[in-house]
Structure 1
Amino acid sequence: MTPRPRTALSRLLRRTVPTPVTSALRRYRDTSAANAPASAVRDSGPSADERLRRYEARTKELLELLTDAQARAAQHEGTLAEAQAQLADAVAERDAARKEVRRLRNHVAIWQRRIKSPSFLRHHHAWVDLGKHYRQDPSPAKERIGELNRKLWVHAYAASHGVALPTIYALAERPEDVDLSRLPDEFVVKSDGGTASKAVLPLRRVGEDRYEWISHDPPRTLSTTEVVEHFQAARAAGASYGPVFAEQLLRPLHGEGLPDDVKIYVAYGKVLHVLLRRPQIIDGRPVTTTRYVDDKGVSLGKVALWGQHSEDIPVPEQLDQMLAVAVRLSLSLPMPLCRVDMYETPDGPVLGEITRTPGAPHFYREDHDLFLGTEWTKAEARLFEDMHQGRSGRPLWGPHADLSMIDDIPGFDAPQA
């Protein structure tokens, strides 16, 4: 161990007697300090203000980058939302297309079966085409089946068979020639041909030259001029043609308003079904509810695949009498099917019209369509057999025939006795 006095002396010597290296370092330091600028001596780096300015500039740059990024993100979000909406629309269109394809395939399958088997719709289309030839029949008016489209011809024909009919008050060639002021307080104005919703106006006098349109909702009144304009517009639209006449307004057996339509489909003597129909005019549009029953008055359910079905329409109390009239008239006409329209009134059943080509979509439930088509074919067979046995191919007028009215109807040929 080195003695303490020697060690202290050595340390003292090292402090007071510099080595060559120590001396050189000191000289370099002193020289550099003397030659350096004052600012360098005071601050060897950026000042605090400079660093703050740099931070603020960098912060501003970053904020601008952030704002741009947020704008881009919002734009992408909008594009994404639009793409998602388009995708949802495309999926909905795809699902709708698949549903429509399934419907069409089912429709095609049904039609394939209907083409191969009896179908009311197929028979009806053929019968409508045949009707075009009936209208070109050069025979006298009383012998033409095509005249069933004309209410006045049907009126005379049914009267010849002793069927009850509304009383006719007035007849004119043009709607403006019917003098409403000379009619009873309640009446119906009709054109000889046309659709029921456009060519029939049930009216009630409520003031001088003011007539309430019965069954119209909301309530509406018309003047004579407006009645004329109604039929003129219907004629221009092809929904009304022929002479115009005014007849008795029928009352229902119970209650107020108008009696329900009872439309009986008859296949040459056999009742196929009965359409109970309740028409109204709501907000200027025809709205109709219907119910189908068989010849016993038993509901058939919703056999028609169109329209508004309602089981609330009652079965007529006079149904048996109506069916008897319909069967009698059907057998008097040389056609496999007709529709006989009746009304139930306090005076008994009253005829509305006879139609050889009932207007409707006629798209029935498949089993019912098959039933109707089969019965149509059987009716054709019965009719052909009767004609083979000597039945005339013309309408058979009844024993009470009075054809004088047809002579007065404009557009009819003079009938032969």
Structure 2
Amino acid sequence: MEQRERDKKRLLPPFSTWVSEGASLPEWLSRSHMARGKSAPQPPSFAVQMDSWVRRSRIQEKLLGTDSTPRLLRRRAWASDWLTSRGWKTPEILSGPFALQDIAQHLEGLESGVIKPVNATNAWGVLPFVRTGPFEFQNLFDGERYRMSEVLERLHNPMQRYMFPNKWQIETLIAPKGEPNRVPDDFKVYAFAGEIALILQVRRHTSGNRYKFYDSEWNPVDTGKYPDTTDNDLPLPEVPESLCEVASKISSALPVPFCRIDLFEGSEGLAVGELTPEPGRYQAFSDSADLYLGAFFEWALAVQSLQQSDT
């Protein structure tokens, strides 16, 4: 296995280079098998692979009665334990799990934090806050100040809409250096068995979220997602190399071919926000980005198959 790791070469060049050179796959990856005859095979597709993966997870959960690995990774407490046991920094869980109707007692004594559902993806039901009064909190996503009843309403609505369980927790608020009342940019790394394909930067602002995609060498790229809210003026992270290194190591250690590793740069360094095996709107990439990510997905499946055969 060590020799395979030494000999392993990157499947495709960085996305910006690959697109500028014509966005074509290596001949061996696009070759048709003789059993197919003369017809061309379907090209790799990230959306198709994700659809298949989601279906397999549902079969495991519904028919076989076991928790699939993607479901475990979506559980914030499980993911936090897994990460911290391997030495990676995550936000501390201050309180939880608790039912939403009991949130007032769990907010007692807290000056800041992030309220999150225990089992949900994306930013559904996430509320970063600082206390502005005995019963008043400022939502750092929109800048608005909420009374306790408004906090309850703000969190209940997404729970009802997306139908995730009524289990919540409060984490420490990770803030950028010198800006204790701002949510840091979120760097979402699309990683496949240790290889970095794309990176999405998200800056949340009261006027609306702004997005910026990069390739593995931090060149801005167009992936077809967020065309109306892309902001190419967003700054690079302070330590881009370290960010990719952490994401790569986490991805290599995970027992799945793909996971989006969500990282923050806080005042005390890098922290892992979440592990996201099933990112939202994974079907919305452009054809070229879908092909690129799909090729990495198939490569990662092959790598993991080899790893399993060696154990």
Match of 2:223 in 1: 303
Match of 2:82 in 1: 157
Shift of 1:144: 4.4
Match of 1:336 in 2: 257
Q: Matches of 2:213 and 2:107 in 1, distance apart?
A: 40
Match of 1:244 in 2: 168
Indicate if the aligned counterparts of 1:306 and 1:361 stay in contact, CA closer than 8 A. Answer: no
Stretch of structure 1 that moved more, 373-382 or 306-315 = 306-315
Shift of 1:319: 2.1
Q: Cα distance 1:348–1:138, how it changes in 2: closer, same or farther (>3 A)?
A: same
Q: What RMSD over aligned residues (CA atoms) do the two structures have, in Å?
A: 2.4
Structure 1 SS opposite 2:118: strand
Q: Matches of 1:215 and 1:144 in 2, distance apart?
A: 30
Q: Cα distance 1:115–1:190, how it changes in 2: closer, same or farther (>3 A)?
A: farther
Shift of 1:131: 2.2
Structure 1 SS opposite 2:119: strand
Shift of 1:195: 4.3
Q: Matches of 1:332 and 1:242 in 2, distance apart?
A: 31
Q: Matches of 2:202 and 2:224 in 1, distance apart?
A: 13
Q: Matches of 2:124 and 2:137 in 1, distance apart?
A: 17
- Name the % identity: 23
Match of 1:124 in 2: 50
Structure 2 SS opposite 1:241: coil
Indicate if the aligned counterparts of 2:131 and 2:137 stay in contact, CA closer than 8 A. Answer: yes
**Structure 1 unaligned spans of 5+:** 1-112, 391-417
Q: Cα distance 1:361–1:181, how it changes in 2: closer, same or farther (>3 A)?
A: closer
Aligned residue identity for 2:168? V
Q: Cα distance 1:375–1:114, how it changes in 2: closer, same or farther (>3 A)?
A: farther
Shift of 1:362: 3.4
Matches within 5 A, 1:29-40: none
Structure 1 SS opposite 2:129: strand
Does the alignment pair 1:170 with 2:95?
A: yes
Structure 2 SS opposite 1:198: coil
Stretch of structure 1 that moved more, 314-323 or 348-357 = 314-323
2:177 to 253, 256, 279: 253
Greater relative contact order (Cα 8 A, min sep 6): structure 1 or 2? 2
Match of 1:33 in 2: none
Structure 2 SS opposite 1:280: coil
* CA offset digits 1:65-95 (Å, max 9, x no partner): xxxxxxxxxxxxxxxxxxxxxxxxxxxxxxx
Does the alignment pair 1:184 with 2:110?
A: yes
- Higher fraction of helix: 1
Normalization by structure 2: what TM-score? Answer: 0.79
Q: Matches of 1:170 and 1:205 in 2, distance apart?
A: 16
Match of 1:234 in 2: 158
Match of 1:147 in 2: 72
Normalization by structure 1: what TM-score? Answer: 0.60
Does the alignment pair 1:294 with 2:215?
A: yes
Aligned residue identity for 2:199? V
Indicate if the aligned counterparts of 2:122 and 2:279 stay in contact, CA closer than 8 A. Answer: no
Shift of 1:254: 5.7
* CA offset digits 1:122-143 (Å, max 9, x no partner): 212212222213434645x7x8
Q: Matches of 2:71 and 2:225 in 1, distance apart?
A: 29
Match of 2:130 in 1: 204
Indicate if the aligned counterparts of 2:188 and 2:262 stay in contact, CA closer than 8 A. Answer: yes
Aligned residues: 269
Does the alignment pair 1:359 with 2:280?
A: yes
Q: Matches of 1:373 and 1:114 in 2, distance apart?
A: 17
Aligned residue identity for 2:49? H
Does the alignment pair 1:314 with 2:235?
A: yes
Structure 1 SS opposite 2:257: coil
Indicate if the aligned counterparts of 2:122 and 2:280 stay in contact, CA closer than 8 A. Answer: no
* Structure whose alpha-carbon radius of gyration is higher: 1
Match of 2:306 in 1: 385
Aligned residue identity for 1:120? F
Q: Matches of 1:252 and 1:237 in 2, distance apart?
A: 31
Shift of 1:304: 2.2
Q: Matches of 2:254 and 2:166 in 1, distance apart?
A: 23
